[in-house]
Amino acid sequence: MKYLVKDIPQDHAYLLPIGDIHFGDTAFKDEGMRKLKGYLDWVKSRPNAFVFLMGDVFNVSGRQTKTTPFETDVGEYEKAVEFFKPYADKILGAIDGNHEYRMYDEFGISPLQLFCRELKIPYCKYSAVIRLKVGKRTEKGAGNRYCQNYFIYAHHTTGSGSTVGGKLNRVVKLESIVEGCDVYLGAHNHQLAIAPQDIYYVSMQGGIMKRRKWYVDCGSYLEWEGSYAEKGMLPPAKLGSPRIRFNGKKDKKDVHVSL
């Protein structure tokens, strides 16, 4: 598990967790590419917006894998590197998905490792905790302190479910690994879904406090027609990624997620 810290001086910040692109899969085509480019251009045009890659960036199909190589375009590594290069400074880090793990399992190296090295992005392997420090304090004597701190735990996740709730439950389970985060990010099941959950906790200063957690399932970029979703009798998914806004003003910790 990697620990990443990002200081964002503006009074709010955005994080777009982007997962399950499946570069190379023939079902990643015009609509997916257009959407992905739209998000990345949006991020690039804002100094307070960043991306985290949630795994299955690559498809990695082969004769021994569940995905047939006959549904793959050649050159997925080069295509992904060239595509992401202009946005490299906006990517906070990347985790492997099970598709990258196929190559690791066979040859001991993940294409995402090479991708991250080439683009100079932190490679986080299976999971990462991201700390966002938002809203730099400007009063005299504040030093390098920030108004708000947010903690996010990201994992590609495993397993699935046949319902939206079943899929989102995989994200909820992340809380049994790292407690106390503001946002839990999962991917893998290609569903876009969000749920806020409030919880009481006992304060070390005495009394009972309440805070909010967000469970976020990060979607995908694969079109349904001719894909494994069609083959496997899965419903078509809305393509894209969630956009998470973090307030950086004093006295107002607030997360807002839009799809």
Q: Specify the length of the chain in residues.
A: 259
Q: For 37, left (φ over 0), alpha (ψ -120 to 50), or beta?
A: alpha
Stretch in the footprint of Fe ion (CB under 5 A) among 10-18, 80-88, 93-101, 141-149: 93-101
| Site for Fe ion contains 96 (CB under 5 A) | no
| Site for Fe ion contains 97 (CB under 5 A) | yes
| Site for Fe ion contains 67 (CB under 5 A) | no
- Provide, rounded to whole angstroms, the least separation between the CB of residue 156 and Fe ion: 6
- Provide, rounded to whole angstroms, the least separation between the CB of residue 7 and Fe ion: 31
Q: If DSSP codes are grouped into helix, strand and coil, which group holds residue 25?
A: strand
Q: Provide the H-helix boundaries in 76-206.
A: 76-84, 98-107, 111-119, 164-172
Q: If DSSP codes are grouped into helix, strand and coil, which group holds residue 113?
A: helix
Using the rule CB under 5 A, which residue among 26, 98, 113, 160 binds Fe ion?
A: 98
| Site for Fe ion contains 223 (CB under 5 A) | no
Between the alpha carbon of residue 252 and those of residues 47, 77, 90, 249, the distances in Å are 21, 42, 26, 6
Which residues, in sequence order, are CB contacts of 182 under 8 Å at separation 6+?
A: 150, 151, 152, 211, 212, 213, 214, 253, 255
Residue 97 or 248 with smaller CB distance to Fe ion: 97
- Provide, rounded to whole angstroms, the least separation between the CB of residue 96 and Fe ion: 9
| Site for Fe ion contains 188 (CB under 5 A) | yes
| Site for Fe ion contains 32 (CB under 5 A) | no
Stretch in the footprint of Fe ion (CB under 5 A) among 17-25, 43-51, 70-78, 102-110: 17-25
- Provide, rounded to whole angstroms, the least separation between the CB of residue 23 and Fe ion: 11
Looking at 60-191, which runs of residues are DSSP E strands? 91-94, 127-136, 146-155, 183-186
Stretch in the footprint of Fe ion (CB under 5 A) among 102-110, 133-141, 184-192, 236-244: 184-192
Between the alpha carbon of residue 210 and those of residues 177, 186, 206, the distances in Å are 21, 24, 13
| Site for Fe ion contains 20 (CB under 5 A) | yes
Stretch in the footprint of Fe ion (CB under 5 A) among 42-50, 138-146, 159-167, 186-194: 186-194
CB atoms within 10 A of CB 199: 10
Interacting residue ranges for Fe ion, rule: CB under 5 A? 20, 56, 97-98, 188
